Chain A
Amino acid sequence: MAASVVSVSTAPPAPPQRPRTLLVGTAITACTMGFAIFCMVGLYLARRSDVLNTGQKWLPKGAVIPLPQPNMMFATLLISCVTLAWGAYALRRDDRQNAYVALGLTALLAFAYVVQATYLFSISGVAVDAPLGQGVLFWAISGTHLAMVLGGMVFMLLVTLRALFGGYRQLPEGVTAAAIYWSITVGVYAVVWYAVYITK
C-alpha cells in the first residue's frame, strides 16, 4: 500500500540518455528557420505578381540574375547532402577514416557554396533600395538563406571536432542532427532557387 514503506533514496537520478533530443530540437529549429524564409518567398511572389500585373518589369534596371551560378550552387548543396550522409553512416560504423574524408568534403562543398553565393551577389546588381521593393525582398531571402548555410557550417564544424576527438564513436547523433539541419537547408534552397533565381 502507498506511503507505508520508505526508501532512503537521497540521491536524485541522473538524466537518462535521450538520443532523439538533439535530432528533434535541430529539426524543429531548422524547420522554423525554413518557414521564415518561405514566408519571405511568399511575400516576394505576391509582390512580383502585383508588379507584373501593372505591366512593369520585375527586376530593376541594370539587375541581372544569371542561371549558371544558382544551378551550380544547387548542385553543390545536393552533393554536400550525400557526403554528409556518408559521414554520418561512417561514424555509425566507427569508420573514422571514411568519416573524416566525408566530413572534410562536406565542409569544402559548403565553403564552395558560400563563395559562389557571394560571387552571384556581386554580379547581380540588385540594389537594396530598388523602387518597387524588389531589392529588399531579394536580399532578405538570399541573405537569410546564406546565414542559414553559415549556421549549418558552424554546426558541422562543432560536430566534426567532436567526431575527431571520438565523442560520437558510440552515438553519432550530433552528425545526424547536422545532416538533418543541412538537408532542410538544401530543401529551403530548392524553393529559393526556383522562386527567385529560375522564375525571376
Chain B
Amino acid sequence: MTVTESKPEEVVPDLGAAPAQPALPPEPPSGIAGVLGTADHKTVGRLYVGFSLLFLAAFLGTSTLVNAEAVDAGSLSVLNIDTFFQLQSLSQIGVVFLGLMPAFLGLALCVVPLQVGSPTVAFPRAAAASFWGWLLGSGLLIAAYVGNGGPIGGNSDMVKLSFVAFAMVILSLGLASVCVVTTVATARTRGMSLMRVPLFSWSMLVAGSMWLLNTAALLANLLIVYIDTTHGQVLYGAAANRWIQLTWIFAQPAVLTFALPLLGILGDATAVATRIRPARYGVSLGAIGAAGALTFGAYAQTAFNPALITEALFVLQSLVVVLPLLALFGGIADSVRRGRIRPTSAFLVSVAGMLLLLGAAVAGGLYALEPLNLGFTVWGAGVGNAATAAAVAGIAAGVFHWGSKIWGHRVAEPLGKLVFLAVLAGGALYAAGQLIAGANGQLPVLGDGTFDSVASNAEFGALLSTVGCALLAVVTVLLILAVLPAALRRGPKADADPWGGQTLEWATSSPPPRGNFLGPIAEVTSPSPLLDIREGAAKEIV
C-alpha cells in the first residue's frame, strides 16, 4: 500500500492509487503580492476569518453599548436618539454581515475543498474578488455611518452611500456563497456522493443556499429603498420607513439561518471527540437540510404585513423548526453515549452553541403562539440574540477544530475551555435578558428615544443582555488571542491530523500544500474515509 507524505516527520494517511495528474501551473508570488493577488482558497479564507473576527469583536462591543442604554429605563442616558439608532442598526448589520457570515464563509473557503477532496474551490478568482469586494464594502459602510449615514442618518449623500456599501457587502458574500455551494455540489472527489459529504460541507451547502435566498430578498428590499430614497422619498425611502423594511433579516425565522453551519461543525467535532463512526448519517444530513429549509424567511416581512406573525405558515414554521434540531442533538447524544468521549474545545463550544440554538428555536416557537402575546415585544430580539450567540459559538468551535489545519500552527487549545464557559454564559444571558423583558411586555425603544410602557424587570433584563453581549465580545477577543500566534506562524507546528480525524481534510499536511493533497485520492466509500483506512490497516495487522 502506498503512503504519501510531505515531510519525513509528517506521515499522512494513504489515499490509495489513481491515474497520474498533469503538470501544475507556475508558482504564485509570495509576500504582499501573494496576498493581494492570490486566488488560493486557503489564503482567501484566512483573510475572511481574520478580518471578520476583528469586525465581530468591534460590533459586539458596539452592541453592548446599545444594550447598556436600555438599563436605565425611561429614556436614553448616554447616547442621543440619532446616535442610538445609528449604532443599533450598525451593530446589527455589523455583527451579521461583517462578522458571522464572512467568518463562516472564510472557514468554509478554507475547509470545504479539503473535506470534499478538491484541489481548489470552485471559481477561485471569484472567491478572491468576493473578499476584496466585501472588505471594500465594509469599509465604505463604516465610513458612511461615521459621516452620519445609515438608514436613518441625517446626511443624504452618506445615507445613499451606506445603501450602496451594504449592497456591495451582500453581493460579495453572495458570490462567496456561490463558490462554496458550487464546490460542494460539483467538486467532490470520486465516490463522495452527497450522502457521504462531511457534515460541515453539507451544512455550508444548506446554509449557503439559504443565505443566497434570504439575502437576495434583502437586496431587493435594499434596491427599492435606495431608488425611493434618491427619487422623492415617497414611501419606501421615507426616513421613518427605511430601516424597518430591512429588519426582518435579523428576526426569526431568517436569523436562525446564520447559525446553520454550527450544526455541521458540531457533527464533525462530535465524530472526532467520540472517536466512533457517526450512526444514522442520513438522518443527520436530513436534519440539517430540514433545519435549513425551515429558516427561510424572505416572506416574513412584518413591515409590510404586521399580521403575518399570526398566520398559519409562520406559526407552523416557528414551531416545527425545533424538531430537526432535536433530532440532530439526539444523534449527538447517542454518539457521546456510545463513544469514548474526549472533550475537545471544538466539541464543548459547539455543544454550547447547539444548546443556544435550541433555545432560540424554542423561544421562537413561543413567540409565534398568539395567546402568549409576545408579538412585537423584545422577546423577538431575545430569539435573535440566542441565534447570534449560537453562531458565535459555531465560529469559535470551527476555529478550534480547524485552526491548526488552516494556519499550520497549533491554536491555543486551553483557551477553548474558557471560551466554552464564556460563550455559554454570555449567550444565555444575552438571550435571557430580552426574553425576560419581553415576557413582561417590554416593547422596543420608540422613535423619540423613550420606552413605551416600561415593564417590570425590564431594567434587570437589559442588564443581563448587556453583560451577556459583553461576554460574547470577550469570547471573540479570546478567539483572536487563540488564533493570533498561529496566524503569525509562531509556536509549535501543527500535525497533519491532531485529532484522529475521519474526513479528508486530515489526510493532508497542515497547512495543506498547493493543490491541497500531495497524492491522488482513492475512491471514497463512506462518510468517514480516513476511519476506513485505519480500520483496513488494523485488519491487515490482525
For residue B187, CB closer than 8 A to chain A, the reply is yes
Per-residue interface assignment for chain B, residues 226 to 241, with 1 indicating a CB less than 8 Å from any chain A CB and 0 otherwise: 0110011011110000
For residue B1, CB closer than 8 A to chain A, the reply is yes
- B220 contacts which of A24, A25, A40, A133 (Cβ < 8 Å)? A40
Residue pairs across A and B with CB atoms within 8 Å: the count is 152
Residues A7 and B2 in contact, CB atoms below 8 Å apart: yes
- B216 contacts which of A7, A10, A35 (Cβ < 8 Å)? A35
Chain B 399-427 interface residues, beta-carbon cutoff 8 Å to A? none
Residues A39 and B232 in contact, CB atoms below 8 Å apart: no
Q: Is the interface of B mostly helix, strand, loop or mixed?
A: loop
Residues A37 and B14 in contact, CB atoms below 8 Å apart: no
Residues B224 and A7 in contact, CB atoms below 8 Å apart: no
Residues A13 and B1 in contact, CB atoms below 8 Å apart: no
A136-B217 contact in complex given A13-B119, A18-B187, C-beta closer than 8 Å: no
Residue ID in chain B nearest A33 by CB atoms? B216
Residue ID in chain B nearest A25 by CB atoms? B182
Chain A 11-48 interface residues, beta-carbon cutoff 8 Å to B? 11-16, 18, 20-21, 24-25, 28-29, 32-33, 35-37, 39-40, 42-43, 46
Interchain nearest-CB distance for B5 vs A (Å): 6
Per-residue interface assignment for chain B, residues 4 to 30, with 1 indicating a CB less than 8 Å from any chain A CB and 0 otherwise: 110000010110000001111100000
- A21 contacts which of B122, B305, B518 (Cβ < 8 Å)? B122
Stretch at the interface among A137-145, A158-166, A178-186: A137-145
Stretch at the interface among A61-69, A99-107, A111-119, A123-131: A123-131
B contact residues around A37 at 8 Å (CB): 220
- B520 contacts which of A13, A28, A43, A133 (Cβ < 8 Å)? A13
Per-residue interface assignment for chain B, residues 347 to 366, with 1 indicating a CB less than 8 Å from any chain A CB and 0 otherwise: 00000000000000000000
Residues A128 and B187 in contact, CB atoms below 8 Å apart: no
Number of contacting residues on A, CB 8 A?
A: 44
Residue ID in chain A nearest B232 by CB atoms? A129
For residue B489, CB closer than 8 A to chain A, the reply is no
Residues B217 and A36 in contact, CB atoms below 8 Å apart: yes
Rounded to whole angstroms, the CA-CA distance of A124 and B304 in the bound complex is 27
Interchain nearest-CB distance for B395 vs A (Å): 24
Residues A7 and B182 in contact, CB atoms below 8 Å apart: no
Residues of B within 8 A of A (CB): 1-5, 11, 13-14, 21-25, 118-120, 122-123, 174, 178-179, 181-182, 185-187, 209, 212-213, 216-217, 219-221, 223-224, 227-228, 231-232, 234-237, 298-299, 304-305, 513-520, 533-534, 537, 540-541
Residues of A within 8 A of B (CB): 1-7, 9-16, 18, 20-21, 24-25, 28-29, 32-33, 35-37, 39-40, 42-43, 46, 128-133, 135-137, 139-140, 144
5 cross-chain pairs, A with B, having the tightest CB-CB distances, nearest first: A12-B515, A129-B232, A13-B21, A133-B235, A2-B537
Task: Give me 18 A-to-B residue pairs in the complex whose CB atoms sit less than 8 angstroms apart, sorted by A's number.
Answer: A2-B14, A3-B3, A4-B3, A5-B1, A6-B3, A7-B4, A11-B24, A14-B22, A15-B515, A16-B119, A20-B185, A25-B123, A25-B186, A28-B182, A36-B220, A129-B232, A130-B234, A140-B224
